[in-house]
A and B are shown apart, each in its own frame.
Chain A
């Protein structure tokens, strides 16, 4: 798989954190809303996505080598990268970079451009995405991301950090 430039670990990498909320997805003419719960320990992550009413869960679990997707009643799907996995579902979600973007940071492993925007919240361009922060103080609570015609709207409700990794 592709070699990534050596990344300087940021606190996003080392800390154990979780965030839950809602994501609106506009991609190839489809419109979806999902509730999500994201748990992260360094390179390991577990993302639970459920329908707008909290049911019909899918679980994405992974680390830097492999990622898997579990959905009720279907065989688990594996892939090398989360992007490959989600592309199979027709979803466009830059998962690897997301864990930095949701924190308000660029992905340290790739070049990025940071822009100032009118609503005095920063925004950045990276991996072909425009990431605009629309609300939040220490950590973002609203983030809009666009990539060509795809759009992701994140509402981040419950940021938590942990001493020990919450992932069993």
Chain B
């Protein structure tokens, strides 16, 4: 299949990331490149499907999953939504959990650039996917940024700050929602 070479290579990168902890800045731009939204927060991912994604500014929102339950908590509205976890959620970072088979099946994957930064371009094979392209940029084995293009021509750039991979241990309660205070 076209592009399956890229999928294997990307899967190799993803499998080498057992866990990833980083801050992030997210910048959403319209089709003319004008900034529509900027937000910051922190994230922790543990393969295959544990995630803590916290937006801290300018609004607050948390997406937490232990791979079975998905919690979405809105501190501004003090509102918690709990549902069974399914990987198709609004957090593109979950691509980190994809296997070579899934990548090949769901995307056309190409390694676009390869010197200092390895850039992978993923184009969904399904027409009704909610984005038209996802770019993953790695420096060495560490993910640096993701760029999502949607069908309105808008781009969402998620840049990881101080990304750390494969910490020996991660507290399990990171991936379970707890009402603090």
Contact = CB atoms under 8 A, between A and B. Distances in A.
Interface stretch (B2-10, B71-79, B110-118, B167-175): B71-79
B76 A53 contact: no
Given A22-B59, A35-B37, A72-B152, A52 B74 contact: yes
Contact of B28 (A57, A72, A73, A157): A57
A24 B37 contact: no
B55 interface: yes
Nearest to A21: B59
Chain A interface SS verdict (over half)? strand
A52 B90 contact: yes
A148 interface: no
Interface string B41-59: 0000000000001010011
A157 B85 CA distance: 31
A71 B150 CA distance: 10
Contacts of A55: 28, 90, 92, 148, 150, 156
Nearest to B150: A72
Contacts of B26: 53-54
Interface in A34-68: 35, 37, 48, 50-57, 59
A153 interface: yes
A2 B90 CA distance: 40
A155 B76 contact: yes
A35 B59 CA distance: 9
Interface string A127-165: 000000000000000000000000001010110000000
Contacts of B130: 56, 72-73
Contact of B154 (A24, A72, A158): A72
A153 B77 contact: yes
A142 B36 CA distance: 22
A54 B151 contact: no
B36 A70 contact: no
B90 A51 contact: yes
B64 interface: no
A56 B152 CA distance: 9
Interface string A3-36: 0000000000000000001101000000101010
B76 A54 contact: no
B124 to A, nearest CB: 11
B74 to A, nearest CB: 6
A56 B90 contact: yes
Contacts of B79: 24, 31, 33
A91 to B, nearest CB: 17
Nearest to A33: B74
Contact of A70 (B55, B76, B148, B152): B152
A71 B81 CA distance: 24
B156 A54 contact: yes
Contacts of A158: 58
B37 A54 contact: yes
B39 interface: yes
21 contacts: A22-B76, A24-B74, A33-B79, A35-B59, A37-B36, A50-B28, A50-B37, A51-B90, A52-B61, A52-B74, A53-B53, A53-B55, A53-B61, A54-B26, A54-B55, A54-B156, A56-B150, A72-B131, A72-B154, A73-B151, A153-B77
